[in-house]
Structure formats: structure tokens, C-alpha cells
Structure 1
Amino acid sequence: MPARIASIARDTRETQIQVQINLDGTGTSDFATGVPFLDHMLDQVSRHGLIDLMVKAHGDLHIDAHHTVEDVGITLGQALDQALGDKRGVRRYGHSYVPLDEALSRVVVDLSGRPGLEYNVEYPRALIGGFDVDLLREFFQGLVNHAKITVHIDNLRGRNAHHVAETIFKAFGRALRMAVEPDPRAEGTMPSTKGSL
């Protein structure tokens, strides 16, 4: 299987984003988005997905974090799409349940070629520190739209908003790791009866 790496830059009047990804990494990460909670969540994806990930962002944080968080999701989705190539030989599907104390979340991933997000999360409060929890949906919506993948995210229980968010990102990393993993029984074949994803 060829190297599954990508480097994407996105430059708008609102944000300047750089993302580098290696799907066959060890979980090495380097983040500087200007949004510390987002950096913390991206670190969960990298470490639990064993994906090497670098994300640098400069955004209009004097307004709020919305554009930065959404555009990081978009750019990460573009990088993921590029790194996956034609998806031959991958498992395609991945799932994970992750607990953190009282919180439990489930994430299911399909490298379908079709963007779709089912996001069933109700946070116990609107802010984690100063971070608006509504932006987490925006992050995942941008990611699935541009990675062209289907992701189902369900928080099954949780009383602490930080724990809820962290279980989601850890579970996403682990589900993504499973989905992108090479399948030794399907080497070189397309995981679809249609012949393409």
C-alpha cells in the first residue's frame, strides 16, 4: 500500500489553516489552532487513531472560534480524503465505544464516499471553559463533508460536558483507525460492490 499522507492548506479572509496527516503513523501530533480545547480534542484523535497529525491555524478569534473550528474540520476532511486515495484494501467500516468516568459515547465510521453526519449529543452545559460546545458539531460537519465519509456519533450517557466531548473524540479516533486500517484479506480490492467509493 502506498504512503497514505497528505498536506493541505486553506486560506480565506477568515482563516489560514495547514494540515498534515499520516494515516499510518504512531500518534505524533503538533497543534496550534489558537483554540486550546480544540487542540486537546484533536490530540485525542491523533493518539487514539495512531494518526500523525499537524494542524496550524490562524483565524479571526477576535470575533469567536466558529470559523477556526469549522475550517479546521474542513481542512482535516480534505487531508483525510487525499490521504485515503481510492481506498483499496481498507476495512472501510470502523466503530468504537469509549467511556470516561460517567460518560460513554459511540462513534461509527463508513468511508462511503458520501458525506453524512448523524450527531446525537446533548451537552449538560453550553460552555466547556470558554469553548462553545455547538462548535463541535460544526467541526464534524465540515470534516465529513470534505472527507466524504459517513459518521454516526451518539453520546449514550454523561453528566460532565468535558467528559462527553472527550469520549466522542477518542471514539472517533479509534473508529477511524479501524476503518482506514489495511485489511490483509482484501489487499488491493475495493470494499464496495459498486467497484468504487
Structure 2
Amino acid sequence: MKGIIFTEFLDLVDSTFGIEVTEAILERAQVASGGAYTQVGDYGHGEMVQLVVALAEEVKVPIEQLLMLYGKALFARLVAIHKVDMSQYNSAFGFLLRVEDDIHRQVRKLYDKATPPTFLFDEIGEQRMVLRYMSHRGFGAVAHGLILGCAAYYGEDLVIERTALNESGTEVRFVLERQ
């Protein structure tokens, strides 16, 4: 995983829970990198799992809730950092439909080792969208948070139903409905 995912996570922990919690989870997790991340570095996704588990233990908040919080915050940060022109998309659905071609394609060009998740669309309508998230990392809760962040960006109220399609969580079905 790219280091930006780690640096943004630790920034979120700092701002939400305090630097003392950040230091505590780094000590508790004992990650291979020692917790010294650079935005462009490459790190195993297992380190993120260790950090999230350590955070959940430290703050007594369920892992699922923390991953969704992180995903929601990460959306706005990635838009800002990468200067994504969000005006070219008219809605959360419009953005999500273009993630593969506009965002993930650029990520693969910029970072030769990057393996972003894949989104496949099973249903596309004005009020309802059904998509499948696929990633060897199994971070469906982060994807859920990212979708929430996207909806918030466009000021949309979406009801999101998430269903794991396998035990490892590497394939997840999302049903999005506009309210």
C-alpha cells in the first residue's frame, strides 16, 4: 500500500483521538516499518491492519466503525491532495462510475506497484446503483466510508447496504439508494 494511506490514517488518529493515542497505537502495533511512513513509500497492508486493531483496542471503538470513519475522511483528503477536478462529475453516482477510468488508471500510471481496488457495476439507475468492490486487502469498510465521503462531498443522502460476498471480505456488494 502507498504510504499516503498510512500518513493520512495517522493524521486522522492525531486529530480525532490525540497524539498520545497515535504514539500508543504505534507502540502497541509494533509494525515492521516502526511507524515511520512517507507518502510515496510502499508498505504491507498487514501494517494497516495492525494499526487499526491497535487503535480499536486503545479507544474501545469497533474496527468496522473506525475503518468507515477513516474512509470518509480519506475521501476529502485524497480529493484535496491529488487536486481532483470534482466539477466534472455531477453527483456521487457520476463520480463512482468514473473511478476506474479516471482515478485508478492514474494511480496505476503514477505508482507502478499500486494495486487499487476494482469496482464493477451490476446496476446503474437514477436512484439506485449496485456495485461490487474487489480487493485482495478486504477493506470493504474503508470503501464504504469512501462512498459516504463522496456522497457528503456532493451533499447527497445515500442509504448504503453492504454485503460481503466471501468470507475474506475481498469482494463486497454495495447497494446505494438516493433519498
- Judge same fold: TM > 0.5, yes or no: no
Question: Which protein is richer in helix relative to its size?
Answer: 2
TM-score in terms of structure 2 length: 0.35
Question: Which protein is richer in strand relative to its size?
Answer: 1
More RCO (CA 8 Å, sep 6+): 1
TM-score in terms of structure 1 length: 0.33
